[in-house]
Structures are given as C-alpha cells and as structure tokens.
Structure 1
Amino acid sequence: MNYTDPVLREIAAFSPLDVLLADIAVRIQLTPTDHRLAVGHYHAIHQWLERDGSPLAGLIASFYAQGGFSIGATTARHAEDADFDIDAMVQVTMHHDTDPEDVLSTLHTAIRGEPGSRYYDKTERKSRCVTVKYDGLHLDLTPAVLIPSLEERTSFIFHSKKTATGFDKARLVANPWGFAEWFLRQTPPEAAFGQFFERQSLEYERLRFTKAESDADPVPDQDPAYRKSRAVIALQLMKRWRNLAYDARHATLRLPPSVVLAHSVAVNANRTSSLSEELLHQVVSLVSALEAAERRGMTYKAVNPACDPYDVLTDRWPEDLNSQRILIDELRAFAVDIQRLRSGLSMPEMRKTLEKLFGERPAADSVRKFMDNQVSADRGGVAAHIPSTGTVAAVTSIATPTYARPTPRTSPWGD
C-alpha cells in the first residue's frame, strides 16, 4: 500500500472494528448484481405502464425512485422468507380531486394487466401503493399528483383502505424526491471511506462471481453508486439491526419506518471520525430525540425538510407511547453493545456480538475474512485492507441504562 497517498494513509488507520463493520455493510447492502436487477425491474415496470392499452398510457408525467433506492441505503433481505424493496413514485396527470380509490385502483389495473400477462399474478394492492412481487424483492409503486403551487415535485399521494362500512380515504402531501435530495446533501461521501467501501464492495462482488461461476458481465472497477459516507453505512447497519430485532421480539408490530431512521441520520451526520463512532452517535442521537418526545408525553415527530410542515414522516409510526418506548429500549441495548465493541473485546466475543446485531452469516464471514487477512500479513503477505492494529477515536459514552435489556447472545433467527 502506498502510504504517501493521504487517502490510503487514512484507510490504513481504520480500526479492526471499523473494517469489520464496513465489511458487514458490504454483505447486507445490495450487491452490484442485485442493484442492476432492481434497476432492470424498475425500468421494465415504467415501460409496462406506458404500453398501448394501459389505463395510464399518456398519463404518466414522471417516474422516479424514492426511499432507500434513491439514497443508496437499500439493504438486502435478512432471511430466506424476506426480501428487499424498491420504491418508486408514479406521477400521473390526474386532477388532484380525483377519488383516492380511483387513483390507486387505476394504477393497480394498469400494472396487473390482463389474465396471463407478466404481472397479473405478482401484483398486490395496498392502502397507499401497489406492490409487484419478484423472487427476493418487491417493488412498491405510489401514485402521485403534482401540486404546482408548492416546491418541486411536491405532490398529493393517496390513501384508501377498505373498512367494514366503506373506505377510509385521504389525500396527503409528500415530497420523497425532495427528501432524497436533502438527505444526499446532508451525507456527502468522504474520500477515504468512500474509496475503501467501494473497494470492499467490488472485491466481494468479484468473489461472488467466482464462486457462482456466473456468466454475467464483470463489475466495473469504478462504480460511483458504491461510494458512500459513514452516515449512509450507519443507516444501513441500523436498518439491518432493526429488521432482525423486530423479527425476533416484536414480529406483530409495525416496523419503525426506514424514512424516520434516514431523517435522524441526515440531521445528525458529519460529526464523527470513524464508522463505529458514527454508528454509536446515530443510535444515541435517535434515542435522545425519542426520549425528549416521551418526556413531553408525546410521540416523536419528524417532518420532511423539503416539504415542511405538510409531509409528516411519522404519520403512521409511532402509533402510541408504547411502540415508541419499545424502540427506545431496543436502541439503548443496541448502543450498549456498540460501546462494548468499541471498548475492546476478544475476537470470539466480538464475533458473537456482531452476529447478534447483524446476523450470523455476514458477521461470521466478515470476521473470517479479517482473520485470514491478518494471517496472510503475518506470513509476509500483504494485508488486503489494514494492518492488524488500528486506533479507535474516543467518544463520549452514554450511561448503561438499568432497563437496557440485552438481546440474545446468539442469533436464533439466523440470517
């Protein structure tokens, strides 16, 4: 490694924990192959909606990504019976007074098509979107009608849910495009960490091609889609942890929305110097915000800065103080485990803790890879990423809460 390069010198100083967390993040994000697959489905649906005979032919003004797909924070599925999701907005040229049920039903009909068509048996109607299911992933499409008097791409989205007495209907103001633009401005990639993470991503993908003997085209050596900031990687790790924690202990509850986590991460980004510190900082910051709301006897409220005050990101979660308290307790236990990792554990203990937080397979594979690299370096080879030692920046600790219930020491739900 050329240590005269300042970027490479910074990479060489990464701590073992930071390298492990980054490698776990590589294994839980969409691989370049999965990303290309998702993009392919995304464009195919757009073309399908514009086809001759579609109820929406000539009525689609714009079609764009939203959610994790638009900010580079989508995570891969965490279990065999789970999948990852792609979110897209379908801006249609209908009148904003159109009945919400009519808007959603029209989109559902346009996607589903005739019996025997490609999406007929893959399409499911939801209260605010239409879902198309594929193997290992699903695409959520939300219809929207532009509100020209407000900020760019601010739109009405529609809610319609069948009840015992009819339909519960609403029009809501939203601007997910504006949120994504704001998020990306708040979380710009750092040169050293972005280069390191990109290198990890591309190496992992090449190994997957080799093992699967795939005939797919090789991944380009430089792919800007995988240059990420520490804040974005922390968000992906938090989403992975949330999915596992709620699957294991709160399977009947609504998941804290990814957009709420993303909002908190963006608000608190750019204040740390390492990935482990960033992860701890983001968890503690969210706990502080949730507890501040709780002390006022209120549920936490987050608003899209690109559509303030109309686009309330917490309109469906937390439903009540109890659901808010559950996330607070889980986050505090998460913070305790991150502190333990940062304080210094033996490699076996570190592996157990990482498996508990992020899943058995990605954690075990990351630890194994890290140890193999160190063995190679000790035998006179060149370590793939960092030397066997590194420094961990100091961070102000939070007190370990007496009620912070530790999560199971092993990962019974697997990965």
Structure 2
Amino acid sequence: MNVRTNFENYARSLDIDPVEAALMDVARAIQITLTMHREAESHYRGLANHVDRPGSPFEDLVDEIYASGSFAIHAPTRSRLKQDQHDVDAVIELSVLPGSDPEWILATLYKAIKGDPGSKYYDYLIEKNSRCVTVTYPDGVTVDLMPVVRLAGTPERVANLFHHKPETGTQYHKEVNPKGFADHFNRQIETSQIFQDRFNARRFLVDGETYETMAKRMASDGSMIKADTQPMPIHVPLDQKSPRVVALQLIKRFRDKRFRKHDDHRGKRKPPSIIMAAIALEAGPVKDNLVDEVISLATRMRRRIQDAESCLRLLEVHNPAHTPDVFTDRWPEQRSDQQLWARDLQILIDRLKTLQRVGFDPAVIQSTFDDLFGEKAGEAALRAYHQARVAQLEHGALVMKPGGEFKPAAPALGAGVGAASGLITPARANTNMGGVVPDDNCW
C-alpha cells in the first residue's frame, strides 16, 4: 500500500473551516484519556469489592456495579484541563428489600465505604448525599456511588433508588433505569463519517502522527479502519464519537463554567447532564460540522424550555427507556431556573454564530473560547492551530509570501499531505466582533 498517496487522497477530500478546527481542538482538550478511563473503572469496581468485603455491613449483598451518566454514553469530560480530574457516576445494585428505609441505605453505604481506621478508604473524603455517596480520591477524581435495588416484575434493570435529604426531612423511593437509558442512547445516536475523518486528519496535523502509524488505521482504499464494537462502557476515541456526543460534552463544559464563574449562577443547581442527553436524542439529524452541531443541540434545548415557558410550566423530560423515570424531578425547581439556562444557551448560540460570521482571528478565538469553556480552552485551541500550521508548512500545504503572510500552496502532482487539502484555511484577520444581545423574547 502506498501510504503517503492514500493519506493524501484521504486528506484532500476534507475541508475544515478554521473556526470549526478550533472548536475541535477544544473538544480534544477536554476528552478523558484511555488511562483515565481505565482508572475510573478501577475506582468504582474497587469500591464495589470493598463494600462487599467480609465484615462490611453489605457483605455478600452487592449484585453488580456499572458506570452510569456521562461515562455510560461515552461523554465524560475533564473537570480541569490542566489536571487529570474527572467525575464518575456508578450504580451499585444491592440485594436488599426494595422498600428499605432510604436513610438507612445511604448511611449504611457510607459506613461500608468508610470502614474502620486503617482500612483502604478511611482517610478519603467521603460524603453522604441525598441519593449517593461520593468518594474523592487523592488526585481529585470523584466517584458518585448510587445504591439501587432491582424491582421484580418490571422491565430489565428497572430499580428503586433511595432519596433522603436530612435538611428538609424528605425521603422516598424512585423508579429509575439508568442502564436502560444508556443502552437506548448508544443505540439511537447517529455518527458521521465526515466528522470522524476530520478528527483523524486533525490528529495527523496537531499530534504529528506519522504515515506509518496512520497506515495501521487505513484500509487499502485509504479509508479509516474502525475499532471493533465492545461491551459498554468502553473508552471511545474522539475520532469514533458521534458529533452529537462531542457537542454534548462541549455544552456540559459551557454549563460547568457558567455555574462556577458567574455570580448569578452560584448556589443554584445546574441543569443535570442526563436531561441534556435525553434532549440530544430529539435534536434531529446529526450535523457533520461540530460548530453547527453545538448550535443545533443548544437550540433544541432552548426550544424545549421555550415550549414549557409558553405554557407557564416547568420543563419535563422523561427517560425514553422507562417513562416513569422522570429526569426533571429535581431541576428545574422553579421557572427562573430554566429561564437562566435558556439565556445561557442563547449566549452560546450567539457567540458561535458570530465566530462563524466573522471568521478566524486568533485573539478573538482565544477570548471567546476562554469565556465560553474556561480553563484556557482558547489557549489550547491556538496552540493546536499553530502546531497544525507548522505541519502544513512541513508538508507543503502552505507557503510564506514575502510579507510574512501564509497562503495555500499550489496543487502539484505528488505533493505532500497538505497540498490543496484544505485541512485548515489560512486565518482571516478580523477583530470586529460587534455586539450580541441574548434573545430574551420569552421573558
């Protein structure tokens, strides 16, 4: 196989707008690595074994444990870009009575994890919450362990969760099916070959992947060979994810930054990721471009809130795999909660549309992405942009004009990888962002 020729043909079929490429690089920066994924699974399985150990109050009562939430739908993100911090949600199925007292269940799980002085987790930060017990590891990674009991005579994996909030004195059981939702989501979500190929080409430019390494992932016709499907949860590389999943990750990142940095958000409950994931299944055909996909998904989320607002009611979202499982049972608590998030979404939509209209300007990209996604996301995008530029120069995709500006190299027979490939269009300097006012027509 002529690797260089095959990859040139593959690369030339792509055309990545620089703003699109920059958002791809932000998405790359927030991904969980394979090592982090394996450590996360090791964490929650180690907890299950510890809870089931001899002498534990739940000895021999742990039926199963599995990832839920973002890990189960391949959408986890780093909590901090400069640290390997991330949050893991896991469900631990217990062999106890479904009607057991919620306060007792949560308190006993806490004791089972804490153990006696000198035991494995005794010195860890362990917190008992209203529906789970959270364990914080020394590296900052957290695992939320939610105890449930399967319900007989119901669809597979339907279970009771246990809610107890001592501050309000409320406690109850709730039918849930997190495994059913994850399986449903993963079956329904669409992929995009164009999107996946662009990420592959982007990795070649930014990470300096060699032709030889690329050859191992290419078929004789120049197409990319995909990994075999394995039982969920697995670590899914970014170039095999659906653009909808990546867009969901970016919107979650945007949400976390808004609720961490803005005074009018502090102390308020964030819109849960599970609600956003369920709405993502309603957002219509998947777009090939990541910027378009983020805008489309954010628009769908905002429209769902607008529909509820038009009837003066709260947003309501159910688990499509088990409709009695209401995802919006704790958020929004009041209409102002959903109104705040709708305004946030409009800001995200407007800022991305403005970038699309104005074009690529390094200073604007950095300030916009830092503001939207935080943690020096813009800096990460610019660093990748310059790495890609260097790669394009090395492979003959760009040439430098006498004044120091770059222009695409003229196509030539047998030219290097980037020739006329359009992997990154040269930057168009423009710092006039103009003013954008969020759409507040609903309020």
Which category of TM-score, normalised to the shorter sequence, fits these structures?
0.7 to 0.9
Find 2:322's aligned residue among 296, 307, 327. 307
Q: Which runs of 5+ in 2 are unaligned?
A: 210-225, 228-233, 397-416, 427-435
| Alignment partner, residue 55 of structure 1 | 57
Structure 1: gaps (5+ residues):
208-220, 391-399, 406-415
Please list the CA deviations of residues 172-225 of structure 1 after superposition, one character each: whole Å capped at 9, or x if unmatched: 010010111111122243334335546767998999xxxxxxxxxxxxx96962
Q: After TM superposition, where is structure 1 displaced by more than 4 Å over at least 4 residues in a row?
A: 1-10, 79-83, 198-207, 221-224, 379-386, 400-405
Aligned twin of 1:214: none
Question: In structure 2, which of residues 143, 150, 154 is the aligned counterpart of residue 146 of structure 1?
Answer: 150
Identify which of 352, 355, 375 aligns with 1:338: 352
Q: Find the residue that maps to 2:369 and give its secondary structure.
A: helix
Equivalent residue runs for 1:24-39 within 5 Å: 24-39=26-41
Tell me the C-alpha RMSD between the 2 structures.
3.0
* 1:263 corresponds to which of 262, 271, 278: 278
Which residue is 1:233 aligned to?
Answer: 246
Distance 1:203 1:62 in 2: 43
When residues 136 and 383 of structure 1 are mapped into structure 2, their CA distance, relative to the original with a 3 A threshold, is farther
Identity of aligned residues (%): 31
The CA distance in 1 between the partners of 2:393 and 2:353, in whole Å, is: 29
2: CA distance, partners of 1:5 / 1:173: 53
Aligned to 2:337: 323
CA distance in 1, matches of 2:108, 2:200: 41
For the residues of structure 1 that align with 2:325 and 2:82, how far apart are their CA atoms? Answer: 34
Opposite residue 388 of structure 1, the aligned amino acid is I
What CA deviation, in whole Å up to 9, does each residue of 1:283-342 have, x standing for no partner?
11111110110110011110001111x111011111101111111111111110010111
Q: Which residue of 2 aligns with 1:210?
A: none
CA deviation after TM superposition for structure 1 residue 96, in Å:
1.1
Q: Determine helix, strand or coil for the equivalent of 2:166.
A: strand
Taking the aligned partners of 2:394 and 2:50, their CA distance within structure 1 comes to 57
The one-letter amino acid of 1:270's match is P
Counterpart AA for 1:336: D
In structure 2, do the counterparts of structure 1 residues 263 and 133 end up closer, same or farther at CA, with 3 Å as the change threshold? Answer: same
Tell whether the 8 Å contact from 1:159 to 1:170 is kept in structure 2 after alignment: yes
Q: Pick from 128, 133, 139 the counterpart of residue 130 of structure 1.
A: 133
Greater Cα shift, 136-145 or 344-353: 344-353
Please state how far the C-alpha of 1:239 moved relative to its aligned partner. Answer: 0.6
Rate the CA distance shift 1:240–1:305 in 2: closer, same or farther, 3 A: same
Q: How many residues get paired?
A: 379
For residues 53 and 6 of structure 1, the distance between their equivalents in structure 2, rounded to whole angstroms, comes to 63
Distance between the aligned counterparts of 1:280 and 1:85, measured in 2? Answer: 25
- Among 116, 119, 122, which residue is 1:117 paired with? 119
Distance in 1 separating the partners of 2:425 and 2:5: 18
- For residue 225 of structure 1, give the secondary structure of its aligned residue in structure 2: coil
Q: What is the CA distance between 1:137 and its match in structure 2?
A: 1.2
Match of 1:277 in 2: 292
| Residue in structure 1 matching 2:424, options 363, 388, 402 | 388
| Equivalent in the alignment of 2:257 | 244
Q: Judging changes above 3 Å, is the alpha-carbon distance between structure 1 residues 205 and 272 closer, same or farther for their aligned structure 2 residues?
A: closer
Q: How far, CA to CA, are the matches of 1:351 and 1:401 in structure 2?
A: 20
What is the one-letter code of the residue matched to 2:160?
F
Max Rg structure: 2
Does the 8 Å contact 2:319/2:325 carry over to 1? Answer: yes
What does the per-residue CA deviation read over 1:337-378, in whole Å, with 9 as the maximum and x for residues that have no partner?
A: 010111133232222212211125232122222133224423
Measured against aligned partners, the alpha-carbon deviations of 1:208-252 in whole angstroms (never above 9, x if no partner) come to xxxxxxxxxxxxx96962121100000000011111111111121
Helix, strand or coil at the partner of 1:267: coil
Q: Distance in 1 between matches of 2:173 and 2:204?
A: 43
Distance 1:199 1:377, change over 3 A: closer
In structure 2, how many angstroms separate the alpha carbons of the residues matched to 1:176 and 1:190?
A: 26
**Contact kept in structure 1, 2:317 and 2:326, CA below 8 Å:** yes
* Structure with more helix by fraction: 1
Partners of 1:192 and 1:402 in 2: how far apart? 32
